[in-house]
Structure formats: structure tokens, C-alpha cells
Amino acid sequence: MFFRIILLVVGLALSLGSRLSPGVRSQLSRDMIFVLESLNGVSRSFVIRGRRISSHSGVSADAECTLRFRTSAIGARIFLAKDAIGQLITGFGSLDVECKTGSPVNPIATF
């Protein structure tokens, strides 16, 4: 439940940022869909279209990138960590986090 709330707040913050901040809008250079999800059923899709971000619950079938956490507790722990990037890299190494792309492109280059 906690991970679901975190993803909802992240979606709202990104949506507001893309509408109110020219700095955020300038970073949104192309349209894409990405998904953050856990294997125990918590998921949220983020849609970048026309330099705006929107989000909805569930998994989008045409996502370009899916970041999948083994459990929602692991996802919440990584999102709330002070060194979130370090925790994410560690998660890739321990297979707690998995990145799937819809194309044969390097997943890190997707963002």
C-alpha cells in the first residue's frame, strides 16, 4: 500500500512539474510511456506526450521501458533512500530490480 501511495505522489508531482515548470518541460524532449511496477501487483504508468506528463494506475501495453521491483517493499525502500541511485544499481545487481525495454536499446539510454 505504501509503494502505491509513493507512486501516486510521484505521478502527481511530475504532472504538476510538467505543467508549471519550464525547466521540467525543457527536459521532456520526446513522447514515451514508462511503467514502474512490483511483482506483487502495484504498478503505475507514466505517459510523456507533448512535453507533459500524466500517470494512471496499471500497466500500459505499449510501454517503452518497465522498471520492475521484486516486491513493493523493495520499491518503497529504494524510492525513499538517501542514495536512491546507488540502491537502484545495487538492486540491478541483486536482481531485486529489473528493467525491460520494448526495443533493443540500452535501458539506461531510454531516459
State which residues form the domain around 41.
Answer: 2-110
Q: In a structure prediction context, what are the per-residue pLDDT tens digits for the chain, which is 111 residues long?
A: 789 999 999 999 999 999 999 998 888 888 999 999 999 999 999 999 999 999 999 998 889 999 999 999 999 999 999 999 999 999 999 999 999 886 655 555 545
Q: What is the pLDDT of residue 69?
A: 95
Nearest Cα residue to 44 out of 30, 62, 61, 60: 60
CATH code for position 45: 3.30.1050.10
Alpha helices, DSSP H, located in the chain = 2-20, 22-27, 72-80, 84-93, 107-110
Q: What is the pLDDT of residue 100?
A: 87
Q: Quick one: CA dihedral 107, 80, 93, 62, positive or negative?
A: negative
Q: What pTM was estimated for this model as a whole?
A: 0.83
Q: What is the pLDDT of residue 103?
A: 60
Return the bridge partners of 67, or none.
36, 99
Number of domains in the chain: 1
